[in-house]
Amino acid sequence: MTTQRHYSPIDRLLLQADAAMRTLLPFSGQPHRPSPAIVQPDAQMSDEDTRHVAGLMRINHTGEVCAQALYQGQALTAKLPQVREAMEHAAEEEIDHLVWCEQRIHQLGSHTSVLNPLFYGMSFGIGAVAGLISDKVSLGFVAATEHQVCKHLNEHLEQLPAEDEKSRAILEQMRVDEEHHAESALQAGGFRFPAPVKFGMSLLAKVMTKSTYRI
């Protein structure tokens, strides 16, 4: 018979600090699944296309940094144990995306965004506040965020050069996973955010994408 371990507030803060370091330090995450890009052939792209794809993958990598922070912040303040566990589990699944994007960025000869610590801190704060309000709002925020991510992934898939099958395989699998996370959050009782709130989230997302495309 196994018993569930109960962590003190100090334990949870230490775990959050460890999660932040594993998210922000290069190549510190350990994926649970191999990258979908592994089985795809290498392609020759022009310098311009390579820089553009690297910029898109950098945006997606920062998006995954934000997702990690959001889930960790929500897990810290979630009221129901099952909601906290769901947030922690989702964060583990998002690590795959984080590592896949980072690997692809370096394959393209580029770098992750220097703004990642800033966006991590902002997203962690948003997640913690959502969790403090209620688990229903917290789950609803997950669903709305994941729907926004899927929208960006669709836009990026349209912009990829036809020959870049590696990046395409990564983004397509990410889209499948994000759609699942969104639906799971709603099925768990997440609040469906009204259009004005979603519009505000969209504006914040644009700030992130514009700033991280190059830096």
Q: Does 165 show up as a binding residue in the annotation?
A: no
H helix intervals, 78-164: 81-107, 116-133, 135-159
Q: Are 173 and 49 in contact (CB under 8 A)?
A: no
Q: Does 64 show up as a binding residue in the annotation?
A: yes
Q: How far apart are CA 148 and CA 198, in angstroms?
A: 8
- Roughly what angle, to the nearest 10 degrees, separates helices 47-77 and 195-212? 130
Q: Does 155 show up as a binding residue in the annotation?
A: no
Q: Does 94 show up as a binding residue in the annotation?
A: yes
Helix, strand, coil shares of the chain as percentages rounded to 5? Answer: 75, 0, 25
Q: Does 88 show up as a binding residue in the annotation?
A: no
Q: Does 178 show up as a binding residue in the annotation?
A: yes
Please state the residue numbers annotated as binding site.
64, 94, 97, 146, 178, 181
Please state the residue numbers annotated as binding site for Fe cation.
64, 94, 97, 146, 178, 181
